Structure 1
């Protein structure tokens, strides 16, 4: 199982995690709804017209009759991510860790900032939204728009390197 390690600047009490899970099986749905009973969900219908009604938790629809679905739960404890991944099995999961701020990087002339201080790990998925399946995981480092060098510095702190070009995110 994969686990997150916090850098010495990230206080677990100042971190929250949002989960977005594409659920395709009834078994995974049962495990996930038992663990995250307050999660919202909506049917995954990429081929449907944008304004067509989609079955969802808001409508009181049955998620088992609506598979595949996206299941979303905001503000889970960081310690619960591994249990959610275990419950999800091989389903595609995006977990976003929201930090209170990024640390200062004096060697780059960057102070600490609370803007865009989060990372997303897409498990079994190649995209930031869990839509494109993959046999591995992808880590996204979100930083303020005008300082993408912070992402390179952050990745180097845990022995990683940036593989792609900076991208603008809708988040």
Structure 2
């Protein structure tokens, strides 16, 4: 298991602005073998219906605990709300439909990238897949949905303790019209 640091580079009340920033960052990153992961809590039957259209074989368990229902147990998630969603390794094209399906519910969408490329003009070396991630938190300011909000935050991940990490974060923030505010979270992966 590796650890990265997730730095907030853009917080906005406008979800389309956050999605544009994610698209820009995905355009910078190496994404040939990239995949996307989802984590969140679904509270509403309507949101559950929409999310299951996007991810029909959604992995979930009851927020009250797996003994109260789970996808592994073959239970009906509509009878177990609220449910915790942890779904990994999906194709990139599932991310935006999942985000659109969330309605008011909070979630984190993490893109597992191949790399952050070298940026010679900024003095930045390539960052390998082991530490190259991008996360959008929807209706939350933190990776784990503990700090619920009406806005959305884009986080870029960099290696913990890497001397160039702040330079890379600032450079990536600048590419999306954001700025590094100093908010960094540990992200065990």
Q: 1:13 to 1:71 in 2, by over 3 A?
A: same
RMSD: 2.3
TM-score, normalised with respect to structure 1: 0.83
Q: 1:130 to 1:113 in 2, by over 3 A?
A: same
1:111 aligns with 2:130: no
Q: Which has the higher contact order (CA 8 A, sep 6+)?
A: 2
SS of structure 1 residue aligned to 2:180: coil
Residue 60 of structure 2 is matched in structure 1 by 41
User: Is 1:22 paired with 2:41?
Assistant: yes
The structure with the largest helix share of the pair is 2
| Unpaired stretches in structure 2, ≥5 consecutive residues | 1-14
Equivalent of 2:83 in 40, 54, 69: 69
- Label 1:89 to 1:162 Cα distance change in 2 as closer, same or farther (>3 A): same
SS at structure 2 position matched to 1:28: helix
Structure 1, gaps ≥5 residues long: none
Calculate the TM-score normalised by the size of structure 2.
0.76
Aligned counterpart in structure 2 of residue 157 of structure 1, from 175, 179, 189: 175
Cα offset, 1:55, TM superposition: 2.5
Q: Give me the whole-angstrom Cα distance separating, in 1, the residues matched to 2:188 and 2:113.
A: 18
